[in-house]
Structures are given as structure tokens and as C-alpha cells.
Amino acid sequence: MLQVEIIRGEGLNSNIFILKSDDEEKILVIDLGLDGLHTNFALKKALEKITKKMNNFQIEVFLTHCHIDHILGSDNLAGYANVQYSASPQTAKHINEKDAVTLLSMYGSGEINYSIEKIYNDTEKISFEGADLEVIHSPGHTDGCAVIYDKKSKSLFAGDVVFAGAGCGRVDLPTGNRTTLITSLSKLAELELEHLYSGHGPDLHTNVKENLLAAKRMLEW
């Protein structure tokens, strides 16, 4: 069973998920929250706890999309040497160019002090012992949104594509597109799904497919 450490986002912060590979060589962090101060360094503390007994591990930070509330908390990773940032091609472009799609200018303070070096194309796998992780491009909330699907545990790390309670991310922000999001939700609803870990709010462990289809119906109204 995939062990998922969850740092629940408060206020504007996104949720943060931490996965540890079975061979203890890799830690995958999914999204970063808004910044270290706002999350009270919860990510830093969680990582310290996990890495205490590990040697030679690599940390990969996968960003589900480029919005500020998911990408700014890199302060929490200061002190770790082996950190690599990854995302879809469009998300990488928005973050590396710090463009308007990130909404950075709306937040005012905060600096992106890293760049995305690893790009995942649609359906590409993330190498990770103990899970079968696939990156699935799921645009609509932004043009670069991507989710991580673990085929083994039937878990979906959805970012802002869909939330528990049949909600989904806004489509009125830069590069948002309602029709594209409907298509993405249809595609994701075809997966075998038992667990939903979204970018905001609670997780869902029953009726995940029904939740996706209900979110899609809400968008179609």
C-alpha cells in the first residue's frame, strides 16, 4: 500500500503530498504550497522526519501546475542537496519564465528560486520503487495541468483538476478552458480509481469515479 504523508494546506496553501520509495532512495513531493512561512515549515519538518534514517536519497518535486499557491514553498527544501523539480512542458515554461499564468503578480511577494529541469510528457512514468506512477496531462484549469496516477494503489494526485465534493479548479484564470477541462475529466474517469488526493480540501476514498463524473456534469451545465 502506498504510504502518503499529507501536509494539509491552510488558507491559500495547496495540500502537499510526500511519497517515499520502497528502496528508500527517492522522495517524491507533490506540490509545495504557497511558502515556507505560511505552512509553518510543516514540509520541512515532515521531510526531516522521513529522511532521518535515509542515505543518498533524491528528492523530486513534481508540480501539478504553475499557480503560486502550489509552487512557492521551496524554502522548505533549503539544505537538501539533491532536489530536482519536474512538471509538464507547459507548466515548466510558465514557472521558468515566471509568466502571468503563475499569478505571481497577484501575490506580490515571493520569489521562485528554482527552475524545472525534468519534463514529463503525457503518459510518461516517474521512476519510483513500490508504485507505478504515470503523469497524465489534464489541461483545463491551466493549459499545463498534469496529474499523477498510481496504477498499483489506484490513487490519483489531481492538483486542482478535481476536488472531493465534485468541485474542480477555476477555468476563468489565464489559459483556463472549460471544454478542455471537461475532456480531461472524461479521460481521468476511465481510470480505475480508489483514492483521490486533491490540491485543496480533503481526500476521497470512496466513489472517486462518481465524484469525477459529477464534477464534469457541474462544468457542463
Shortest distance in whole angstroms from residue 68 CB to Zn ion: 9
Nearest approach, Cβ of 108 to Zn ion (angstroms)? 17
Among 160, 185, 212, 215, contact with Zn ion (rule: CB under 5 A): 160
27/185 with CB nearer Zn ion: 185
Picking from 133, 131, 221, 215, the residue whose alpha carbon sits closest to that of residue 181 is: 215
Residues 6+ apart with CB under 8 A from 190: none
Residue nearest to Zn ion (CB): 67
Closest separation between CB of residue 130 and Zn ion, Å? 29
Number of residues that bind Zn ion (CB under 5 A): 2
- Using CB under 5 A as the binding rule, the residues of this chain from 56 to 115 that contact Zn ion are 67
Give DSSP secondary structure letters for 167-194: B---SSSTT--HHHHHHHHHHHTTS--S
Task: Indicate the residue among 15 and 155 with the shorter CB distance to Zn ion.
Answer: 15
Nearest to 152 by CA among 131, 136, 129: 131
Which of 75/160 has CB closer to Zn ion? 160
Cβ-based neighbours of 38, under 8 Å, separated by 6 or more: 10, 11, 12, 13, 73
Residues in contact with Zn ion by the rule CB under 5 A: 67, 160
